């Protein structure tokens, strides 16, 4: 049970530093440092204005600073305590505001980190004509397309010419 709670400030010997905040309760006092500990999650203490400032978009609170979101994550709004993971798309840049979408007929498999377009694979019913990281083509008539990076497999009564590398 707290009988009394007192908060007071003591000027610092160095005028460029903020005043030191003290809390006292039931005769016990403690120094609260850094002042960011008094700010809401997603914000940091600004010594110049002596106020808590929300971390900008593309960043998150990391200790007493706002740090850029790492590749695979993004910061769509101000005041984030943690960056948001890219669950469907990807981002390969630091400080991203949004995730990029995978190309047409592709998706990123679960469990991949979302760092590059090369993680985007063909969905079921399509195939990678140009390889990883490109839009996938719909499966041709008479073929089975598993998706991923697999080539079309001919159905019964159809065949594939493995020597043929061009359409037409």
Rounded (to 5) percent helix, strand, coil in the chain: 5, 30, 65
Cα–Cα distance for residue pair 58/63, rounded to 1 Å: 16
Q: List, for residues 38-55, the tens digit of each pLDDT value.
A: 889 999 988 888 899 999
Low-confidence ranges of the chain (pLDDT < 50): 1-2, 5, 26-33, 168
76: which 2 tokens? 């769509």
DSSP assignments along 86-115, one per residue? -SSSB--STT-SSPBPPPTTEEPPTT----
- What does the pLDDT read at residue 168? 45
Q: Which residues pair with 127 in a beta bridge?
A: 137
Q: What is the pLDDT of residue 2?
A: 43
Q: For 132-148, b where at least 16 C-beta lie within 10 A, e where not — what string?
A: bbbebbebeeeeebebb
Query: Looking at residue 32, what is its pLDDT?
Result: 44
81: which 2 tokens?
A: 């305590």
pTM for this structure? 0.66
pLDDT at 19: 60
Q: What pLDDT score was predicted for residue 15? A: 65
Listed in order, strand segments (DSSP E) in 11-104 are 20-25, 28-31, 43-46, 51-54, 59-62, 65-68, 73-74, 84-85
Q: What is the pLDDT of residue 135?
A: 96
CA distance 95 to 99: 11
b/e map 72-111, b = 16+ CB within 10 Å: bbbbeeebbeebbebeebbbeeebbeebbebeebbbbeee
Q: What is the pLDDT of residue 106?
A: 95
């Amino acid at each position: 049970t707290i009988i009394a709670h007192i908060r007071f400030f003591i000027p610092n010997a160095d005028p460029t530093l903020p005043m030191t905040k003290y809390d006292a309760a039931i005769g016990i006092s403690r120094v609260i440092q850094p002042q960011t500990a008094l700010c809401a999650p997603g914000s940091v203490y600004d010594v110049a204005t002596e106020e808590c400032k929300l971390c900008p978009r593309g960043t998150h609170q990391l200790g007493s600073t706002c740090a850029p979101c790492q590749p695979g994550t993004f910061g769509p709004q101000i005041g984030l305590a943690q960056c948001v993971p890219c669950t469907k798309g990807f981002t390969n840049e630091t400080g991203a505001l949004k995730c990029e979408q995978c190309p047409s007929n592709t998706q990123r498999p679960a469990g991949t980190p979302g760092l590059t377009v090369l993680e985007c694979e063909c969905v079921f019913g399509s195939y990678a004509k140009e390889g990883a990281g490109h839009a996938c083509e719909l499966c041709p008539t008479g073929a089975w397309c598993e998706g991923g990076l697999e080539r079309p497999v001919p159905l019964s009564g159809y065949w594939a010419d493995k020597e043929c590398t061009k359409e037409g």
